[in-house]
Amino acid sequence: MFSNASFLSRANADSAAIGLSVVCLVHCLLLPVALVLFPSVLVSYFAQEWVHQLAVMFAVPVSMFALTMGCGSHKRFWILALGVLGIAILLFPLLVGTEALETPMTIVGASIIAASHIANMRTCRSLDCHSPS
């Protein structure tokens, strides 16, 4: 099976959070094009609000885990603050219910989250602060 030390590492969580951010970006940028090119039930199914909510439910805990683990090691708290800013921007349209700003705010928020995880990974790598868990 999986070893907890290898599966739940901070580096894996950073990579997963970057991947989830990219999925959010692709979803927001390509879904409108896909709906125009392929106006089928299957494509419109992914335009539902629950898809965004589900992605956020995965992205937020993974991001917070990786960023807090990294900051606990390298003490560069601006990286955590940058990630929290991205998460706040990502959550704002869901909490307020403003659909007009959902796509641009998701793009900005997901980009900031990805940038914070890249900074987290690079900082941990340069300071050799890899944690086993």
Q: Are the C-beta atoms of residues 61 and 70 closer than 8 Å to each other?
A: no
The CA distance from 91 to 97, in Å, is 10
Q: What is the pLDDT of residue 67?
A: 92
The CA distance from 13 to 7, in Å, is 9
The CA distance from 55 to 21, in Å, is 9
Q: What is the pLDDT of residue 87?
A: 94
Q: What is the pLDDT of residue 89?
A: 94
In Å, what is the CA distance from 58 to each residue of 23, 50, 116?
11, 12, 17
**What DSSP assignment string belongs to 2-38?**
--HHHHT-HHHHHHHHHHHHHHHHHHHHHHHHHHHH-
Q: What is the pLDDT of residue 1?
A: 41
The most distant pair of C-alpha atoms in the chain lies apart, rounded to whole Å, by: 50
Q: Which residues of the chain have pLDDT under 50?
A: 1-6, 131-133
**How many Cα atoms within 13 Å fall on the side-chain side of residue 2?**
7
Q: What is the pLDDT of residue 2?
A: 43
Q: Are the C-beta atoms of residues 120 and 79 closer than 8 Å to each other?
A: yes
Q: What is the pLDDT of residue 78?
A: 96
Q: What is the pLDDT of residue 115?
A: 95
